[in-house]
Amino acid sequence: MTPTGYCSQERCGAGVDDNALATLVRTGVLVRLRQGGYCLRSDYMHADKAERHRLLCRLVMAQYDDHVLLSQASSCLVQGGPDWGLDLSSAHLTHTSGGGRRASRVVHHLGDCRVVDVREHAGLRVTVPARAVVEVACTDGAQAALVQANHFLHRGEMSLEELRLQAERSTYWPGSLRIHPVLLLADPRLESVGETRCDHFFWTVGLPRPVPQYEVRLEDGTVVARVDFAWPELGVVVEFDGRTKYHQLRREGETIEQAVMREKAREDLIREVTGWSVVRLTWADLDNPQHTAARIRRAMRVRAA
């Protein structure tokens, strides 16, 4: 269930004054999200950090005029983007009456927005995905922006051409140089945050670019598996094991252990059909890039020997 937020002016109109709101916060009934914005504590405690940020965004938008729109991380998150790498401590607003300042849990940006840069999503005015990705690159960095770019590309909510055009318009924005790796690496075939982070990792450590979503086939052309990444000429496959992978792969009535064993059988089949090495990566491996790169390079050398 989506948590419900309240603005103080709405509550005052319903006969609840500031003293009553203060009492409700003090007694633990409400949580104060920002000046004039509240949420039931029970709702807040059951919401994850992404949902808490979306709630903050709704409260903030209710407190500002129509010329204000959500941008940067807030725009991405409201439109369904992942929360990885995003600073969710404040809502981001773009408007034409000022910018570059911070208020209570709100960062204001001065933006020159065209009609095509804005759309409505879930009742809120937001920057379109292509612009939001460029904005995230400027504020949260290239890898965070790449995660958003691949998410929206994979869902078909923006195109690479739209992203390039937005990047051209951002040439003089502070931090705009961070968009260049995003333009280089963005790929709609990548299906998850983990896959995007792997692809970014391969690039940063100087490994050759792999083929994503590679189909392993029998001699008659039958597809027996699709792997996250492959270097066919080097005989190496990389599979990323995220925290929820085996929960998502479970079939109806199947235990986690059975899902793991089925995945092991699939990996054995890949080796049998191709003769290639299979390297499995986790989130922890991505946080240890030099060691992980050495593992993959060893697999490549073994194949080449």
- Asked if the model's pLDDT at residue 99 lies above 60, the reply is no
In terms of domains, do 22 and 88 share one?
Answer: no
Give yes or no for a contact between 188 and 146, defined as CB atoms under 8 angstroms apart: no
pLDDT of residue 292: 98
In terms of domains, do 217 and 248 share one?
Answer: yes
In terms of domains, do 167 and 224 share one?
Answer: no
14 CB contacts (<8 Å, ≥6 apart)?
none
In terms of domains, do 230 and 300 share one?
Answer: yes
In terms of domains, do 178 and 263 share one?
Answer: no
Structural domain including 17 reads: 1-47
In terms of domains, do 28 and 88 share one?
Answer: no
In terms of domains, do 121 and 215 share one?
Answer: no
Q: For residue range 186-213, what is the model confidence (pLDDT) as tens digits? A: 999 999 999 999 999 999 999 999 999 9
In terms of domains, do 65 and 176 share one?
Answer: yes
Position 4 confidence tier, pLDDT thresholds 50, 70, 90: low
In terms of domains, do 10 and 63 share one?
Answer: no
In terms of domains, do 223 and 160 share one?
Answer: no
Number of domains making up the chain:
3
Maximum CA pair distance of the chain?
79
Give yes or no for a contact between 41 and 30, defined as CB atoms under 8 angstroms apart: yes
In terms of domains, do 203 and 236 share one?
Answer: yes
Query: What distances in angstroms separate CA 170 from CA 79, 103, 111, 166, one per listed residue?
Result: 21, 25, 11, 6
Give yes or no for a contact between 111 and 70, defined as CB atoms under 8 angstroms apart: no
Position 100 confidence tier, pLDDT thresholds 50, 70, 90: low
What is the four-CA torsion angle of 219, 222, 223, 225, rounded to 10 degrees? Answer: -70
CATH number for the domain that contains residue 246: 3.40.960
Q: For residue range 255-287, what is the model confidence (pLDDT) as tens digits? A: 667 766 777 888 889 999 999 999 999 999 999
Q: pTM of the prediction?
A: 0.85
In terms of domains, do 213 and 294 share one?
Answer: yes
